[in-house]
Structure formats: C-alpha cells, structure tokens
Amino acid sequence: SRRSARAMADALRANARDQIARLLTQLADLEDAREEFDDDEYEETKAETLAQLDSFKTSLARMTTGDVTLTNELETIKSATLAAISAAFKTPEILKLFALKQPEALRERLRACERDVLLGKMSDAKGKIERVEILTALKKLQA
C-alpha cells in the first residue's frame, strides 16, 4: 500500500511536470512565432494558454495536501505557474527551465545570452532582461 501510494505520487509529480512543461513550451512557441500571428490571434492564443495555466494552478492548489515531498514539488511547480501568470519572467523558455529545475540548462542559456549580446545577435536591453531572469531563477533554485 505504501509502495502504491509512492508510485501514485511519483506519477502525479511526473504528470504535473509534463503539463507545466507543455504549457510553458506552448507559451514560448507562441512568443517565438509572434510575427506569424495577427494581433487578435496572438492575444487570443496567449489568453487561452494563460487560462490553462490558471486552471492548472487551481488544480495544483487542490493537490497540495498529503505527501510532503509531493507538496514541496507541487509548490515549486505552482510557484513557476504563478510566475508565468504574473509575467515575472518575460522569457517563457527561462520560466520553463526554472519550473523543471534545470540549473545547468539555465547556466548554458546565460552563456548563450552573453555570447549573443557580444556577437550582436541580441540587443543589450534584451540580453540584460534575460540575464536578470536567469540569475533570478538560479537564485530561487539555490543553484
């Protein structure tokens, strides 16, 4: 019984991670393809994705009772979801790496960002925003 509860908790964690990854990828893809949409399509698609994130946040709130490990992990995912909704991160890809607890990928993104600014592939302003977001994410992950 204890093993089946553990297996169920593991499955729930995996499903929650997969769902947040899917929604954050959807948000990142939308931002990447921004020019391909007219303003109404973009706003409607973004609103739908944010509504799904909000619905997911509500589901997480109901799930965060019980197993402490599960609760801690769901709280991390919930925090990332709240950050997406409040637009604390302007870059969905950085938010996704934060939500999935991938500090090495965040560090690699930081190096790529710095390189792109030096090569002129990214503006100084956008580079500064991304660097701040990445460093904030790393600090929150205590990595």
What are the pLDDT digits (tens) for 32-87?
888 888 888 888 888 888 888 877 877 777 666 555 456 666 677 776 666 665 55
Burial (CB count <10 Å: 0-12, 13-18, 19+), residue 119? exposed
Residue 111: which pLDDT band, with cuts at 50, 70 and 90? very high
* Contact assessment for residue 81 and residue 63, using Cβ atoms and an 8 Å cutoff: no
Cα dist from 1 to 6, 13, 102, 125, 133, whole Å: 9, 18, 32, 54, 43
Among 63-72, 95-104, 123-132, whose mean pLDDT is lowest? 63-72
Better-predicted residue by pLDDT, 4 or 118: 118
Arithmetic mean of pLDDT, 96-124: 91
Q: Is the pLDDT assigned to residue 9 strictly greater than 80? A: no
Tokens 């190096």 appear where? Answer: 111
Amino acid 68: pLDDT: 47
Spell out the residues 6+ positions from residue 19 whose beta carbon is closer than 8 angstroms to its own: 56
Amino acid 69: pLDDT: 59
